[in-house]
Amino acid sequence: MLLLSTKHLSLLIIIFVIASQSSCLAAARSVPDLTSKQSHDIANKWRDIDDNFHSSQRGSIPELKKYFRRFGYLPLQDHYNVSDDTFDEPFKSAILNFQTKLGLPVNGKLDFDTVSLIMAPRCGVPDSETTHSMHARQSYVFFPGKPRWARDAPMKLTYAFSKDNFIDYLNISDIKAVFKRAFAKWASVIPVSFVETDDYGFADITIGFYSGDHGDGEPFDGVLGVLAHSFTPENGRFHLDAAERWAIDFRSEKSAVAVDLESVAIHEIGHLLGLSHSSVKGAVMYPTLKPRDKKLDLSLDDVNGVQALYGSNPNFSISSLLESDISANQAVDLTRIRSSSLLWATLILDVLSIIFCM
């Protein structure tokens, strides 16, 4: 039987300690799943802003003020000058509100997490600050005036695709299947059905892919900026940025900047029904979505919000939603345990191989 020397045993203990500390750190704060270019851009942006606060060159602040104005955190009145590069009280208040709305640590600072979310691809609908939830744990938000579709029961809404504003690198039947699934997600929890029609002019909901300034006052800004936007009930317009690399299956779509079409469709349908953005990061109504990420399942916050507007689908059971969440979490935990076990086994074998070869 081989015995480890004191030196070898000490080496093994040190590696175990380092590995366990690394595992704890990884569990406490996950690393964002970004491409190397995005990580580089975010790091540079953060350094630029940080440097600007310690020098006379403060060119990044006006850009941030324009962002906060666009998404509802700064006033639209002409008397507030977004070109001003001072860190004034309205700007600080905008940062605080943004951090609160998106579930970040609220410190009023342009730290890495805050700037990362500012730079993240997102929905073009401004963030509403007023929550209509009756319970502190719920964060769903309605638009001002609490608009909803007013139809006789059973409610049926029609949707149609623009034949003139489409993308040609995805099969139209596949795109329609994505939207059918997205509408079905919401229909499963509220007494509303969604039916596709060819009559674009009379459809309740109209869907199309547009580039740049497309006539609705909300121009798109290119790849990985604003992904899409839709309008409140009963407007029904749903616009996606044609400049994005839309994906239905990430196994076949290899682009590092690909965006999951179904995730965005589910989110924007929530707006069409009357929901604004939620501060719950796991909710489909959270405003940002990373490239090559998916968010396909309604959270309890999403369900409570939309049911507050339309009531519950008689076939929906809240217990089934909770069971689904628990199963998903258990599957994730099991995957992590297996990955962790494999990592430890590999580490131990590598260490022992080094020791016995010394």
From the DSSP assignment, how many helices (H) and strands (E) are in the chain?
A: 9, 8
Residue 348 lies in a domain: no
> What's the CATH number where 75 sits?
1.10.101
Residue 354 lies in a domain: no
Contact 137, 304 (CB under 8 A): no
Burial class (CB in 10 A: 0-12, 13-18, 19+), 111: middle
Q: Return d(Cα 249, Cα 1) in angstroms, integer.
A: 53
Identify whether residues 76 and 215 lie together within a single domain: no
Identify whether residues 109 and 133 lie together within a single domain: no
Identify whether residues 102 and 44 lie together within a single domain: yes
Nearest CA to 230 out of 147, 153, 163, 331 is that of: 147
Residue 10 lies in a domain: no
Cα 288-177-193 angle, rounded to 5 deg: 85
Identify whether residues 165 and 303 lie together within a single domain: yes
Residue 150 lies in a domain: yes
Residue 6 lies in a domain: no
For residue 108, is it left (φ>0), alpha (ψ between -120 and 50) or beta? left
- Using DSSP's 3-state secondary structure scheme, residue 264 falls into helix
What is the dihedral angle through the alpha carbons of 142, 146, 147, 153, rounded to the nearest 10 degrees? 100
Q: What pLDDT score does 76 carry?
A: 78
Residue 305: half-sphere exposure toward Cβ, Cα within 13 Å = 31
Q: What pLDDT score does 226 carry?
A: 96
Query: Could you give the number of structural domains in the chain?
Result: 2
Q: Map tokens 């319970």 to a residue.
A: 135
Residue 60 lies in a domain: yes
Q: Return d(Cα 241, Cα 264) in angstroms, integer.
A: 11
Identify whether residues 97 and 192 lie together within a single domain: no
What is the dihedral angle through the alpha carbons of 50, 55, 56, 59, rounded to the nearest 10 degrees? -20
Omega of the bond prior to 154 within 30 degrees of 0, cis? yes
Task: Write out pLDDT tens, residues 223-238.
Answer: 999 999 999 999 999 9
Identify whether residues 85 and 135 lie together within a single domain: no
Identify whether residues 96 and 134 lie together within a single domain: no
Identify whether residues 46 and 175 lie together within a single domain: no
Look up residue 199 and give its amino acid. Answer: D
Burial class (CB in 10 A: 0-12, 13-18, 19+), 219: middle
> What's the CATH number where 149 sits?
3.40.390.10
Nearest CA to 101 out of 61, 133, 141 is that of: 141
Identify whether residues 205 and 241 lie together within a single domain: yes
Identify whether residues 106 and 170 lie together within a single domain: no
For residue 222, is it left (φ>0), alpha (ψ between -120 and 50) or beta? left
* Active site members: 268
Give the tokens for residue 44: 């540079």
Asked which of 294, 316, 338 is the last residue of a domain, the reply is 316
Identify whether residues 144 and 52 lie together within a single domain: no
Q: What pLDDT score does 325 carry?
A: 55
Q: Return d(Cα 245, Cα 340) in angstroms, integer.
A: 34
Asked which of 70, 99, 119 is the last residue of a domain, the reply is 119
Contact 274, 146 (CB under 8 A): yes
DSSP 216-258: SS----STTSEEEEE--TTT-EEEEETTSEEES-TTT---TTE
Residue 174 lies in a domain: yes
Supply the pTM of this predicted model: 0.75
Q: What pLDDT score does 80 carry?
A: 84
Q: Which residues of the chain have a pLDDT value below 70?
A: 1-59, 78, 129-138, 320, 322-358
Task: Write out pLDDT tens, residues 155-197.
Answer: 999 999 999 999 999 999 999 999 999 999 999 999 999 999 9
Q: Return d(Cα 111, Cα 94) in angstroms, integer.
A: 14
Identify whether residues 86 and 188 lie together within a single domain: no
Q: What pLDDT score does 278 carry?
A: 95
Cα 7-11-13 angle, rounded to 5 deg: 115
Residue 214 lies in a domain: yes
Look up residue 306 and give its amino acid. Answer: V
Task: Write out pLDDT tens, residues 107-132.
Answer: 999 999 999 999 999 999 999 765 44
Burial class (CB in 10 A: 0-12, 13-18, 19+), 191: middle
Range of the domain at 84: 38-119
Q: Return d(Cα 106, Cα 114) in angstroms, integer.
A: 10
